[in-house]
Chains A and B, each alone.
Chain A
Amino acid sequence: MADAVATAGNAPLERSSSFHLLRRLRTLGLLIAVLVLWQVVSMYVLDKRTAVLLPSPTVVTQAFWELVVSGELFVHMRDSLKREFVAFLWALSAVPLGLAMGWSQTVHDQIDPLIEVLRPVPPLAWIPLSILWFGIGDIQNQFIIFLGMFFPILLNTISGVKNIEPNLVRAARCLGAGEGRVLRRVVLRAALPQIITGIRVGLGVGWMALVAAELVGANSGFGFLINDARTLLRTDIVIVGMITIGVIGLIIDRAIRYLGRRAMPWSRTFSA
């Protein structure tokens, strides 16, 4: 690592792949240190009875491998991702609603009071009522996730539309675009970076809401997995579940950013 620092000013070396690898490793330094510390604490500091509360990274890795081999992890992953995806399709209804609210003051004035009252209610507060409405299972979970996704997408779409430069709309009009074409070809396109940002945030909030909903209202999925493992005191599985949730959340976020960058080379919103 000291070498990497010393050669940082050296132009030819900067471009070499080994330099990049070193830099990568350097940014992972703290993470590696935490893992080592964790291993040391669970092996040498905790005694036999308390060790179960914090299984070491090696034990967690073994549990991970067991869940992979048995295929159990993938079953939960499939169910969780399916719920996230179905809820996302429903939450996309926030895009046309947001366009209408951003574009027309009348629509905004009608719908905004309702939104303002519902928005501060955390999705998790809906869990008791939603279990009574939908019972335990997919629909209840999807409803909670939908609530988590809907508002970020809606609010970002509205502000994306409201922040469009007025001259873009004027330019389109005096090139002969009617109302429908102005909306589709100009307003939607100009607001797209912020809509995608809303989707990014929404997918993240939805993923958190998903795990919470599954903790109490599901028989599968990551939330169920970690809660079920808790009752069996399988802390290693709990930690495997938590880490997988985190990694998948990260992958979803990166994927949206990548797609945003590919689809909108003209936008700086998603550049690395």
Chain B
Amino acid sequence: MAVLSSIGLSKRFAGHSANDPSVLALSSVNFTINHNEFCSVLGHSGCGKTTLLTMVAGFEQPTEGELLLDGKPIGKPGWERSMIFQDYALFHWLTVEENISFGLEMKNVPRDERKSVVKEYINLVGLSGFDRRYPHQLSGGMRQRVSIARALAVNPQILLMDEPFAALDAQNRSLMQKEMVRIWERARKTCLLVTHSIDEAITLSDRILVMTRRPGTIKADIKVELPRPRQEDDPGVILLRRQIKELIIDEFEVER
């Protein structure tokens, strides 16, 4: 059952002047994401993967083609497509619980229900006891936990993630990737993750879409059927990593 489908999706950015040519960022991108599937889009920086995500979120409109959520065209941004940002984008004037509660208020969820939902998600992401803290009092990893809880609390149809762990140091990054697996297994959601890290994609995903260089298209659609949690030295993981690396290096050579 497809939650998200992209049909012949293209995006062209206009140039700034007559001499400045327009840029084709994405060219006829086709894929579908199934219910409760964790799908990663993997590619070089500048391949248009973030553009793809901003169109799914509704911040940008496609030049050609269609994006459908549950069969309906995607319009303005909304809670049914909540997003986790690389820079967390937490509301720094609100406490942890107020941040998580924000989307619920926007959905007009009654106060009592808001309270219990906020509590549930604070527990889920492992932030009990930090309810009243402000974001500036938290470490990077903890801030991203708040951001995850905030995006999940509105119960979106699809959860969007834009390089969510790229701002963390190596140790925290691998810890948060493991945490994401744990959270996702407890709160099953359809997820679309954009990343340039092969290991991150392998650790988390059911499916990996490898993109070409600009203009971006889907180069390979790889199903990952390894059991979770995945260790980086599992034979299956090593094999898959090598396979994806070759696809990506290939892409590098085409460029030259």
Whether B29 is near chain A, meaning CB under 8 Å from some CB there, is no
Contact A266 B136 (CB under 8 A): yes
B135 to chain A, nearest CB (A): 8
Contact B79 A175 (CB under 8 A): yes
Contact B85 A167 (CB under 8 A): yes
When the two chains form the complex, which single residue of A167, A174, A189 contacts B87, counting CB atoms closer than 8 Å?
A167
- 8 Å CB interface, B47-84 against A: 57-59, 76-79, 81-83
B146 to chain A, nearest CB (A): 11
Q: Which of A168, A170, A175, A181 has the largest count of B CB atoms less than 10 A from its CB?
A: A175
Beyond A175-B102, A176-B154, A266-B134, whether A170 also contacts B57 by CB under 8 A is yes
Q: Which of B83, B89, B154 has the largest count of A CB atoms less than 10 A from its CB?
A: B89
Beyond A176-B106, A176-B107, A181-B106, whether A265 also contacts B134 by CB under 8 A is yes
- 8 Å CB interface, B194-228 against A: none
Contact B83 A171 (CB under 8 A): yes
How many A-B Cβ pairs are below 8 Å?
68
When the two chains form the complex, which single residue of B78, B89, B91 contacts A176, counting CB atoms closer than 8 Å?
B78
Q: Which residue of A lies closest to B86 (CB)?
A: A167
**A185 and B93 alpha carbons, distance in the complex (Å):** 10
Q: Which residue of A lies closest to B103 (CB)?
A: A175
**A172 and B150 alpha carbons, distance in the complex (Å):** 11
Beyond A165-B87, A170-B77, whether A175 also contacts B82 by CB under 8 A is yes
Chain B contact surface mostly: loop
When the two chains form the complex, which single residue of A168, A189, A265, A267 contacts B89, counting CB atoms closer than 8 Å?
A168
How many residues of B are in contact with the other chain, CB < 8 A? 28
Whether B92 is near chain A, meaning CB under 8 Å from some CB there, is yes
A interface residue count range (under 10 / 10 to 19 / 20 to 34 / 35 or more):
20 to 34
When the two chains form the complex, which single residue of A168, A173, A174, A267 contacts B91, counting CB atoms closer than 8 Å?
A168
When the two chains form the complex, which single residue of B83, B107, B135, B136 contacts A174, counting CB atoms closer than 8 Å?
B83
Contact B57 A174 (CB under 8 A): yes
B interface list, Cβ under 8 A from A: 57-59, 76-79, 81-83, 85, 87, 89-93, 102-103, 106-107, 134-136, 150-151, 154, 160
Q: Which 5 pairs show the lowest CB-CB distances between chains A and B?
A: A175-B103, A176-B79, A176-B106, A167-B89, A171-B89
